[in-house]
Structure formats: C-alpha cells, structure tokens
Amino acid sequence: MRPSLSARHNGRPERSAIMTVPNAPGCSRPGETCIRQGSGNGASGREGDDVIIRELAATESIADMTALLHAAYARLGGMGFNYTAVDQIEDVTRSRIARGRCLVAIDDGALVGTIMFHPPGRSAGCPCYERPDVATIGQFGVLPGRQGTGTGTRLLHHAEELAFASGAAELALDTSEGADHLIGWYKREGFRFVEYAQWEGKTYRSVIMSKPVRSHVGA
C-alpha cells in the first residue's frame, strides 16, 4: 500500500484532505488504499459524480496512459503547440512517470485524468524550478469529455496536498504563453506569472506560474 498523505507540517499533524477507501472500485490491487472524492459540494458539475484519485500502479497500462495524454492534449496540438504529450511514445510516457509521482483519476473503472508531481529539488531549467522550496507539476491532462467537470481541480488539489506534505513553499508549472484558456484556469486556481522559459525543441515560449502551497484540509 502506498504511504498515506498524512504528514506533519511545521510541527502540526495533518490529515488527508480526501477520504481513503481500502479496496474501493478502481483500485488496482486488493488491499490498496485509494482516494475517493465525492461531489458533495457540487464542484464536479455532475450530480452523483464519484472519482477516485490514487497513484498509478506499476502494473498498469502505459499504452492507456499515453492514449489519455494524446486525447487530452489534442486541442493544444491543433493550436500549433508541440507539447511533448501531444504525440509522445510509450517509452517517453514511462520515462516521465519514473521522474516523480503519477496521480490518476479513475471514474467507474476508467482512466479519465492524470497529473505528475515532483517534489522540491527534482526539476530544473529555469530559476523558479531550481529553488529548493519549489515543487512542480506536469504531464497534467484530463479527457476532453471530462474537462470542465472538476476532475482537473481534484487532481490539482491532490498534488497540492503532496506539495504541502513535502514541505514546499510554492507549487509551480509551465504552459505555452499562447494557451490563454489554460493560463486563465491556472489563475483562477491561484497561480501567478513568475517568468518566461524557452524549452529546447519547443516552438512556443512558456510561462512559468506558481502559487503558495496550502492544504485543502477542511476547505
């Protein structure tokens, strides 16, 4: 079983913001503790929605994950932005997953979203990422049919709990400066512009965005 998200921060015990459900539907192994988020506050936009957030199991399909990313990033590819996830092969998906903690969103047994979390000290390439108190997220995608239903927010908030548990002061990300819809969504989630970055091989300039880390426990 994966370690619990419960952590101690600044000397205060913290509990997971999300209910743990042993042997819940969607768990990949008997006895695995998953994270279930209901829609009691209506955040999902769908009545009765029930999504499980957990870490990707080593035995799960990289092909399915790659297909999810291709679908999630297809709109961005159509806009002319050559994000890695637009057309990455399975070996690239596997390599990127190995660099951090891969969270997945499961709805009725189906993979509907994912996000990568990297603790402080695991990212580089720009001054913000190289700060010792900055955690990062990446390879963040939700199936087109689930975008706008709250699934992405749930994945993001769970990554924020990981950042909180890691002791990070800030959580940062990057996206194309031309992806106005994404920049607007991140701003609504509390992210602010920090700097620009030009990643090797990319046809677009990226914006680096960051937000102070806080727990969503009790929020």
Q: Which residues contact 6 (CB under 8 A, 6 or more apart)?
A: 13, 14, 15, 16, 165
The one-digit pLDDT tens for each residue of the chain (219 residues) are 333 222 323 333 333 333 333 334 444 443 333 444 444 333 333 433 589 999 999 999 999 999 999 999 999 999 999 999 999 999 999 999 999 999 999 999 999 999 999 999 999 999 999 999 999 999 999 999 999 999 999 999 999 999 999 999 999 999 999 999 999 999 999 999 999 999 999 999 999 999 999 988 765
In this prediction the pTM is 0.79
Residues 170/133, Cβ–Cβ less than 8 Å: yes
Hey, what domains does the chain have and what are their CATH numbers? Answer: 7-168 (3.40.630.30)
Burial of 208 (0-12, 13-18, 19+ CB in 10 A): buried
- 53 CB-near residues (< 8 Å, 6+ apart): 18, 34, 35, 36, 37, 103, 104, 105, 106, 154, 155, 158
Question: How far apart are the C-alpha atoms of 194 and 174, rounded to whole Å?
Answer: 10
Q: Which of 23, 53, 60 is nearest to 113 (CA)?
A: 53
Pairwise CA distance, residues 66 & 135, whole Å: 24
